[in-house]
């Protein structure tokens, strides 16, 4: 668990460093909301199933009006500390209200259905950009 926590924090820090920060405010919950999602697929997940999840997540980001940014990629770290997680998705919202629209959104609920049967683990980490 300690290694996973370090990995998630490192992933968040790396993603945050790649983004241009427009706010330097350190007040709680006033910066952009970042929604980091890590996926570890089951060993028997077929490549076309994984590609289907990638495509569905890309489409989801376009369907929810409160999403202001979206990035994703697969693990390329040489450190071998990914705990089996292969995919990272970073969804950005203007504020907490944007995330609150996204989570129960019908398109998000539909997307979660694409994960059934092929997802081994998921890790979600939300933070307010500083």
User: Tens-digit pLDDT profile for the chain (130 aa)?
Assistant: 555 445 444 554 444 444 433 333 334 567 899 999 999 999 999 999 999 999 999 999 999 999 999 999 999 999 999 999 999 999 999 999 999 999 999 999 999 999 999 999 999 999 999 9
| Cα dihedral across residues 70, 10, 33, 52: positive or negative | positive
* pTM over 0.75, yes/no: yes
Percentages helix, strand, coil for the chain (3-state, rounded to 5) are: 40, 25, 35
Domains, the chain, with CATH or none:
2-128 (3.30.70.100)
């Amino acid at each position: 668990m300690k290694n996973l926590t370090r990995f998630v924090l490192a992933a968040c820090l790396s993603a945050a460093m790649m983004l241009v920060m427009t706010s330097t405010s350190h007040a709680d919950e006033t910066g952009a909301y970042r929604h980091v999602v890590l996926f570890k697929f089951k060993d028997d997940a077929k490549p076309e199933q994984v590609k289907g999840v990638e495509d569905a997540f890309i489409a989801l980001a376009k369907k929810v009006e409160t999403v202001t940014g979206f990035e994703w990629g697969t693990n390329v770290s040489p450190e071998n500390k990914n705990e089996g997680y292969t995919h990272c998705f970073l969804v950005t919202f203007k504020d907490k209200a944007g995330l609150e629209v996204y989570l129960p959104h019908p398109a998000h609920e539909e997307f979660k259905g694409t994960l059934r049967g092929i997802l081994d683990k998921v890790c979600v980490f939300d933070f307010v950009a500083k």
